[in-house]
Structure formats: C-alpha cells, structure tokens
Structure 1
C-alpha cells in the first residue's frame, strides 16, 4: 500500500523528524511506501498532490494541528501523537493498513468509506493543550536564544582579549553609538561590542517571541500583535519570561474570543486588521501593566536574588536536580522546563562565572549525557543491542556532542525501565560536578562545539566524561541483567526492525 503522513511536535525539532524516519523505516520493513511531510521548525515542503492522490491512506503523527488537512479529504486516516509514531511506528502503520482495508471492505464511496474507517480523533485534555501552547512558544523562542546567546558569548570572549582585566564589564559599558559613528575595522574592542550588541538585540526578542507564539498557537495570526506587545511590556515592567508566558495566554484567548464573535457582515472585513488587534492589544497591555506585571516582577526579582545568593554548596544540589530533569524525558516537558529556566536566566548573566552561566553549563552538560552514554555502550558491548540500535548508536555520538538529548529516545522507548534511570544517574552526576567545578557558559546551545566559550572548559569536559561513564556503566549492567530475554527478542525480530522491545 501507499501512505502519506504528516509529523509535527510542539517544539518542531527532534520528535518531528524522528517520527518521520521511524514511519518510513517501518513502511520499508513491511513492504509499504510511506512519504512523510514534516511540519517542523525548519518549515515544511508540502507533499506533491500527485503523491497524495495515489495514496491509499493518511497517517497524522502530530501533536499540533495539521496544516491544510483538506488536501487529504476522502482518504482513510489514522490520527496518533508524534511519540506514538516514534515509539511504535510498526503499530501505527498496522493501524493505517487496517483503516484502508476497512474502507475497501465497506464497499461505499471513497469519502464515506474514509469517514467510516478513520479512527476517532484523539481527545486532547486541557493540560495537554496548555502544554502544546507553551511548547509552541518555546520552539519559536529557541532560535532567538541560540543566536543571541552565542553572539553575546562570542562578544564576551573577544572582550576578555581586548580588555584583559575586566572585559565582561568593559564591553557592556561602551556606548553602542560608537558602532555607527566611529567603528574601527581593526579594533578588537569595537568588534567585541558589535557582537555583544547584536546578540543583546536578538536576546531582547526572547520574551516577546515567547508570548507572541503562545498567543499564535491559541488564536493563530490574530494573536501575534497582542502577544508581541504583551511580551514587550512584560519585559519593560520586569515580569520576565514568567510574565511573557502569562501575557501569551491572555493575548491568545482574548484574540480567540474576539475572532469567534458573530458580527454584522459590514464589520467582518475590518475585524482582523483593526478591531481584533486594537481591542486585544489594549486589553492585554492594560492587564500586563496593571495586573500581571507587579506580582510577576516580584517573583522574577525574588528568583534572581535567590540565584545570586546561592553559594557553591547550594549550587551542587541544584545542578543534580537540573541534571535529573534534563535526562528524564529527553526533550519532553521536564527537559524543556530545565532548559528554559537556564536560557532565560542568561539575560541576567554578567560573566561566564556568574550563577546563571553555571546553571546553563550544568544543563547543557547533563543533556549531552544520554546520547553519549548509549553511543559508548553500543560500541563497548555491541552484542547487547540489535543491528538497528547499533546503527543508531553511531549517530548518537554526533547528537550527544551537539547537545541533542533526543538522540537517546529510540533506546529509552525500547527499554524505558532500564535506560531512563541510567540516563538520570549520569545526568545528576554531570550536573552536580559541573556546578562543583564552577564551569560557566553564556551560550545557550552548541554542546561540545562551544567549548571555547566555557569557563574552566577542561573541568566541564571532565564532568561530562565522568557522568557519561557512570551512565554507560549503568546501561551496560542493567542491559546485561536481561541479556537472555533481549537476545531472544533480537533473534525473533526482523533484521531491519527499528525498535526492539526488551
């Protein structure tokens, strides 16, 4: 059979593409053709209409609303979450095959058959929906964080050379007007200021982008203007990213309510360009300044003061907790909470030795542990793994070094009871050690490739190696305990099976 599929996840990064790959591999293994459209953060290339027309059925492996669903009208459809496709692609494909067979057996016209055969839409709870809105905002925010954070870190690095004694303070004190009035191409100080100011400008969009795209996820385009304005005002009143989250939800639901009002025909034309942005922005702005701002600002200031007052002894337990969170769900909600906590704190970092920078270093190091641990484990004890897992282990080296925790998902999905505790153990060790060693990082992403931007880089790498070794040993020991049952499963499974359940 021929199938078309659409995959998407709240952040639009790893799960979107892993689900697509898993479905394509499951299709080849079962003798079917599966063509997937990934609606991820890198954009999407729509499926060829001819491919859709030739398809027997449709698979939605999506946690977000699928764009342009009308293209697939009249075809049997199954609707599953993106994690279901990552963890059990053969099962999802089998469900799609059954849907097509049911449609053919019904003997009714195609469109009616599709309605009969299609699985009921998934019921999404309020909590899940809120998480989707929040993760959509985070996914659009991350590029601003990455670009701005790395540029700021490079600016600080150059400043440490340009001003050997107090570079981090000097680069922030220079009047930025020097860049367009007296910039000297051969002046290292001016280049450090240039990088720092561009990065700071990108970082300035962090809260507005978070707020705007939460509102966008709720109300589509009508939510963008009030979301951006609300996020900007949240930054002005000192409410920080917590205020940005609140304004995003306020803007989104106000815009959605206005967009769904029944109005006279003569007013409809001006609703999206005048009435909705005007009223939603006014309401969101007023609530941000008068209601949301004061308490959120107090919470944000309290959190900043608490972090600033933490000594080395208190930072180690915090590193352990963040390490556990980063390795528990590998790109899921807890992982993202820890990551956002670290990246938004960078806005208050003054140097690579500040508390906020040390938190970022601990989060990044811990997030690198799971894929590196399974990569090393599959290399040291290849007989414990299936052929496809050994191949995944090879790519996990690059994913781990690049701080992509999701590289360990296939292993966690296949054997969660043994893999996840092993990952968490190594992540906790790495997070705690990174804090104890005093390594700091102003770049929010990059993994091993931004090592030159890390303070005490050798100690950072030492913490990473120790945590990876601990996690790797735990993986091998726990995997060896069930070696007999694993070997039987591997022997009985198809050679090109994507996931092997222990």
Structure 2
C-alpha cells in the first residue's frame, strides 16, 4: 500500500456523527488529491455497497468500500473518531474508519487492499497503535507497513504479506516426529498446494510444534494437554472461511483462527474461499486433520471433502469474534468421537466437482464438456421457444422484420412476433460463448471464464459454431491450468486470478482461434452443415434411427445430451436449414418415447409392475409429454436389461418415422405443448405414438417371458423377488 495512503488522507480527529458524514469527510480528502473525480457519484457507490451489507466489524472498526468509475487510482483514507460512528457492527460504534476506493474493474487492487487490511486489523498491536498515534504521517506509515507498531510482534508470529490476499499458516505442517516415513511427503504436499494458491498459505513452525517434533516429552505433554492429536503431536485443524463478498471477513476470520490456534498450541491450516477464487487444501492435509471448522456465510464449496471428521459449522463472524471457543468446541467434539456423516455422493455443482483427484482423463473430459452443455441448455430452451413463438405469431418472414427499437406497434401482432423473435435471437447469440466459457470453468474454475467466453465469442463471430465452442473452451481451460502451474513470486499472487491469468490466457486463446485453428474448424462446421442439407431418403432415415437410439440409451445422460446438443446446435441460428429443423424434430420425438412407453405399459399390464412403478407410470405420462426423458429412469434403474432395449427400439422407430415424414421443429424443447410450432404435426404425433407402442409392447413381452411364482400377485420387475428389490429403488425416481 505504499502509495495508496498518505498523510493527507488521514484525519485523526474525525468529527462526523454518521457513517454517511464520515464517508463524505474522508472522500473529500480523496477528491482534493484528484483521486475521486465526482464526489457525489462516488459517495452514491459507497452507499450502494453499504446497503448490501453493513461494513462495521467488531472491535470498533468500520471499512466502507466500493469500486467506482469516479476513482482514478486505488486509494485508502483513514479517520479516527473520538465519539464513535455506527457502521452496523454488533458490538457498537466504530472509532477506526477506513474508506477504501478502487477504480471500476480494478478487482485486483480492491481485493489486495481489503484482504491485507483485514488481516492487519486482527493484530491488536496494530489497532492499539492506530488509536494511540498522534501524527497523520506516522498513522499513514503504520497502515502502509513502513513503520511497525510500538510493541514488536513476538518471534512466533508470521507476518502477513501486504501485497495481496494471504493465508498465513502459523502452525507447522501436519507432521510429527513419529511419522518419519510420511513427514517429507506431507510437508511437500502442503507446500505444493499452498505455494500454488492464489490465497497463499505459508507454513511456519511455532515453538510448540518444534518442541513436539523434537520429542521432548515434558514439553510435548504441556503443549498437548487436553488437545493431543495422538503420537505426541498438537491437535490438527483444517478450516474454511468465506463471506458473501469474499473479501474482508473471509481473511479476518482466517487470521483470527490462525492466531487462536497458535496461542492454544493447535495446528491450523485455513482455506480462504474469497472473491479471487480459492485453492483446495491438499487431500493429505485434510486426511491428517483431527477436526474441521467451517466459518462461512455462503455455501462452502466441495464441503463433502470434510465428511467423517469432527466439525464445527458456524458463521464467519463467529471465527472473528470467538476463534478460541470454536477451537475448543471442535476439540471437545473430537474427544466425544462426534463426526459428520459421509453423504456418499459428491456435493456442489457439476462444475465444482469436475476434475477431482483420482479420476481418469476420460471422466474429467466428460465432466468438463457436460458442464458447458448444462449451462448452455437453458439458453437454448429460452431462445428457441421465443424464436418459435415469434414465428407462430408473426409468420414465417418475421426474421426479416425491422428491429423493434425502430418500429413497434402495441396493437400489431407482427410487432409482438418480432419482439419475441429478436429477444430469442439475442439469447441464441450466447450459446457458443456460454458453452466455451463453462467448459473452461469446469477445467480451471473462475479464472477460466474470461478466456472461455472470449474464445467462444470468436468462434461465434467466425462461424466456427458448436465445434469451435468446444475447441475454444478446452483450449481456454488448458491454458489457464498451465499458467496456474507456474511458480510465481508471492507479490503477484493476489493479482493473478483477476489480471494476469485473464490477460495472458485471452491473448493465447484469441490468437489460436483467430489465426491458427479457427478457420479450419469453421470450414469443418460448414462441411457438416452442407452434408446435413444433402441428407434425403435412406440417409435421413438412418440418421433418425441413430439419433433415436442415442436419445433413449441413457435417458438424459451424456449420450442423450450429445444427440440433443447436436440438434440444438443446428437450429441455434436466425435462419436454420430445413434439415436442421427435421433433426430437432426427430430428437425431441424420440426423447419423449421412453417415459410414454413405460406409462402405457403400466396401464396395459399392471401386474407386471410393482405398486411403486405403477405410481411412477402415472407421472411418466406428463414427463414424457413434456420431453423429459428422465421420467423413465425409475423403470430403467429397476430393470435395465428389459427397459433400456425396449426404449431404444421405440426411439429408433420414432426417429426414423419423424425423418421419413419430414416433420420440422424450430423449438428445442416443449414436447406436445409446442405441437402448434411443428411442421406436419399430425404425422409427428403419429411417429411418437408408434414409438410409444413399440416400447410398451416390447417391455411387456420381455417382462412376460419371466413368469411370476405361483400365487404371486405381482410379477418381479427385475431378476429376483419383486417387492424387496423394487421398493428400495423407489427413491431413484426422485
């Protein structure tokens, strides 16, 4: 903070009596130095940030802050109030007020100032010195770090880095003298994970842990009294801190826990899930921990990593206000043997679960691709339905209408049709960028978003289409992952995720897409489009069969999504070809068949199904009619060898008939509810009915081949007794 605060930005006798007045007084000092260009505009931005959440912190501290277009450079102003000013803290008014201003878009500066200041504020010597200092120049030097507090920090304290968000781990890595074989590997593991972190974790040894490692029995006993983690070592805690803004409270809580751990002779390693992203704690560190503290006001990402350990789950301010109590609580839980249950299933979104350690490359690749598709599908559905409604209301030439910003008549149906069409067209323009952006997100977390979106937009601009989006997303994620592996100086770590990584990765991705691979991909996309345009007769029918089989194989899984994405990519333009709309029609029709076939089968031959399956059959009518293939999953889970082949057969028949009849569809979703948007709707419904009948007939035949035991009312739904096997599977339907 060498040039962010000067003596001119310090007011040791702040006379304001409200937070608005205090912010104005400090902002006027910024304006006098030319760092704020519009005082009222800047104060409006400060007030808007304050309205989101009070910026008062316990301990008599207020930190109003914002990013604003009216700020020319990152700036920090400090005021000291004798009477105290209410900033919304639970323990009363604040006497130390820090106004932080950052230029719009300068996330790196904003995060750097806030996180560094937050850590310093947890040092009582620092705040005591600010309350006692009598010279503005000395106060500014204290805040910059140019002058240490009057009372020097003890030798066991690890100073925090003032140049970026840090997590100073004051306890030794999780090793003991009794773990000679694993000590080096675990220590290296901790170092590797923390050195690569955006929020750096710097392990150091405290006297307590050094004593334990040295094996001095008496001292070790003192250190571990009431807190022994076993084998004569300190108790070990891993913690996660996070807050809604991911800035001040996140890092203050981390600092408080680390300080309290040091005082209690406990090893504490903290993962700060802040606005600059987060780096996961090394699995070896988590595995070695004796307890967990989750101090958060937003959901902890990948929380399942900590299952099976004694856990204290609380708000982030609790870690700031009473860290020692939290440490004592988790130690008590460990002594009682209380642990959080393992859920048996991963948490978080598919993107957050992508690329877990131990997975094969093929599994990771599938997750990355599916993460992009899952975020793209809502844009497809919304945009496609809006475009289809625009055609339905305004006619087939509605795509030639003038922009509604120039011509719009409230009483004309054509104007409303044009409005819906143009909104849908805008939504469709996001498809490729969103696909690429979230593939990169699945690979590299938030730093991958910028190059992913940039590469996706380039793919859209050069007509590289769906294939270009896939390539851009994978390249962007790979480039970011490569950059993240480079060892960088600690001073740069705070700005890496918000400046350096987006800048370098966007340059690389842009160069590759524009100069190297973009044109060949665009040509391949055009060749595929021309091939589809030329499909007719037997070729078109075979394509319909293939798409029908894919839609019904895994009922909403990856193969189903490949077929669906292939179809939606063809109609994701303002004027899709007739062949593309036929493919979309075949895909949606085939996807409706599995649940409709199961519903019909449970209606015709009830005794072949369990009571639970008969109930699912009632819901399957609606799910199938709405193009939700997942409605057949309960049946497939209970009896896959009969249900899946029957579903695929029906889907293949429907896909082939839809292509033969030449039905077209502009909407990417909707089922029978968008029949009025379908070309040749009666033949289209006939194709669905035929496939439904094939699926129902085949599944009844296959189930009927295995006769129930004499006197059994309900035949089994799978190999083995029906009731015990089917009922436990019922939750699958949920």
Deviation, 1:450, is 1.1
**Secondary structure of the corresponding residue to residue 224 of structure 1:** helix
Change (3 A) 1:219 1:189: same
Deviation sequence 1:302-325 (CA, Å, 0-9, x none) = 011011111244211111111011
Q: Any idea what SS the aligned residue of 2:582 has?
A: helix
Structure 1 Cα separation of the partners of residues 690 and 398 of structure 2: 35
Check conservation: 1:145, 1:206, Cα contact below 8 A.
yes
SS at match of 2:550: helix
Aligned to 1:440: 664
The residue that corresponds to 1:35 in the other structure is none
> Which of 382, 399, 421 is residue 645 of structure 2 equivalent to?
421
The change in CA–CA distance for 1:184 and 1:391 in structure 2 (over 3 A counts) is same
Q: Distance in 2 between matches of 1:240 and 1:127?
A: 24
| Counterpart selection for 2:505 from 280, 286, 291 | 280
2:689 is aligned, of 448, 465, 469, to: 465
The verdict on how the C-alpha distance between 1:495 and 1:474 changes in structure 2, with shifts beyond 3 A counting, is closer
TM-aligned CA distance change 1:357 to 1:420, over 3 Å: same
Match of 1:174 in 2: 401
Find the counterpart in structure 1 of residue 563 from structure 2. Answer: 338
Q: Distance in 2 between matches of 1:376 and 1:457?
A: 21
What is the CA deviation profile of residues 129-185 of structure 1, one whole-angstrom value per residue up to 9, with x for unaligned ones?
Answer: 10000000000000000000001111111222xxxxxxx2x3222232xx1233111
Structure of larger gyration radius:
2
Q: Which residue of 1 aligns with 2:518?
A: 293
In structure 2, the CA distance between the partners of 1:334 and 1:155, relative to structure 1 (3 Å rule), is same
State whether residues 247 and 284 of structure 1, in contact with CA within 8 Å, keep that contact through their aligned partners in structure 2: yes
In structure 1, the partner of 2:416 is 191
Residues in 2 aligned to 1:214 and 1:290: alpha-carbon distance in whole angstroms: 22
How many angstroms apart in 2 are the aligned matches of 1:346 and 1:149?
8
Name the CA distance, whole Å, in 1 between partners of 2:467 and 2:697.
39
Specify the alignment match of 1:430 in structure 2. 654
Correspondence for 2:367 among 104, 119, 132: 132
The Cα shift of 1:388 comes to 1.3
Determine if the alignment matches structure 1 residue 400 to structure 2 residue 635: no
Kept after mapping to 2: 8 A contact 1:414/1:500: no
Structure 2 distance, partners of 1:424, 1:416, is 12
Name the SS for the 2:410 alignment partner: coil
Q: Equivalents in 1 of 2:689, 2:483: separation in Å?
A: 54
For the structure 1 residues 229 and 492, does the alpha-carbon distance in structure 2 shift closer, same or farther, using more than 3 Å as the test? closer
Q: Is the 8 A contact 1:242 1:300 kept in 2?
A: yes
In the alignment, the residues of structure 2 paired with residue 354 and residue 304 of structure 1 have an alpha-carbon distance, to the nearest angstrom, of: 11
Corresponding position of 2:427: 202
User: Equivalents in 2 of 1:322, 1:494: separation in Å?
Assistant: 32
* Aligned twin of 1:242: 467
Q: Is the 8 A contact 1:239 1:300 kept in 2?
A: yes
Picking from 446, 450, 453, the partner of 1:228 is 453
Q: Structure 2: how far apart are the matches of 1:255 and 1:321?
A: 37
Q: Do the aligned residues in 2 keep the contact of 1:75 with 1:114 (CA within 8 Å)?
A: no
Whether the 8 Å CA contact 1:489–1:500 is kept in 2: the answer is no
Give the equivalent residue in structure 1 for 2:527. Answer: 302
Q: CA deviation at 1:295?
A: 1.5
User: Which of these residues, 635, 654, 657, is aligned with residue 411 of structure 1?
Assistant: 635
2:437 paired residue among 181, 192, 212: 212
- For 1:377-396, list aligned pairs within 5 A: 377-396=601-620
Task: State the partner residue of 2:391.
Answer: 156
5+ residue gaps, structure 1: 1-64, 77-106, 161-167
Structure 2: unaligned runs, 5 residues or longer? 1-299, 312-333, 347-355, 710-714
- Pair 66,473 (structure 1): closer, same or farther in 2 beyond 3 Å: farther
Structure 2 Cα separation of the partners of residues 272 and 496 of structure 1: 49
Q: Within 1, Cα distance between the matches of 2:414 and 2:612?
A: 51
Matched, 1:368 2:592: yes
* Cα drift, residue 187 of structure 1: 1.7
Distance 1:383 1:261 in 2: 64
Q: CA deviation at 1:110?
A: 4.0
Q: Distance in 1 between matches of 2:483 and 2:417?
A: 47
- Deviation (angstroms), 1:391: 1.4
Per the alignment, do residues 66 and 329 of structure 1 end up closer, same or farther by CA in structure 2, a change over 3 Å counting?
A: farther
In structure 2, relative to structure 1, the CA distance for the partners of 1:481 and 1:495 (3 Å cut) is closer
Does structure 1 conserve the Cα–Cα contact (< 8 Å) formed by 2:638 and 2:726?
A: no
Number of paired residues?
394
Match of 1:455 among 669, 672, 679: 679
- Name the TM-score, length of structure 2 as normaliser: 0.51
Q: In the TM superposition, what whole-angstrom CA distance separates every residue of 1:455-491 from its partner, at most 9, and x where no partner exists?
A: 1111111110111001100010001011327549445
After TM superposition, give the deviation of residue 440 of structure 1 in Å.
0.7
Partner of 2:36: none
In the alignment, is residue 498 of structure 1 matched against residue 725 of structure 2?
A: no
Q: Is the CA contact (8 Å cut-off) linking 1:388 and 1:498 kept in structure 2?
A: no
Superposed, which structure 2 residues align to 1:250-261 within 5 Å?
250-261=475-486
Tell me if the contact between 1:493 and 1:500 (Cα under 8 Å) persists in the aligned partners.
no
What do you get for the CA RMSD once the two structures are aligned?
2.8
- Deviating more after overlay: 131-140 vs 379-388: 379-388
Deviation at 1:191, TM superposition (A): 1.6
Cα distance between partner residues in 1 of 2:338 and 2:584 = 52
Structure 1 pair 190/68, CA: closer, same or farther in 2 (3 Å)? same
CA contact (8 A) 2:467 2:525 kept: yes
C-alpha distance in structure 1 between counterparts of 2:645 and 2:380, whole Å: 30
CA contact (8 A) 1:183 1:190 kept: yes
Between the aligned partners of 1:498 and 1:137, the Cα distance in structure 2 is: 30
C-alpha distance 314-349 of structure 1, shift in aligned 2 (>3 A): farther
Is 1:141 the counterpart of 2:376? The answer is yes
**Deviation of residue 111 (structure 1)?**
8.1
Is the Cα contact below 8 Å between 1:389 and 1:411 reproduced in 2? yes
What SS does the aligned partner of 2:728 have? Answer: coil
Secondary structure (helix, strand or coil) at the match of 1:182 reads: coil
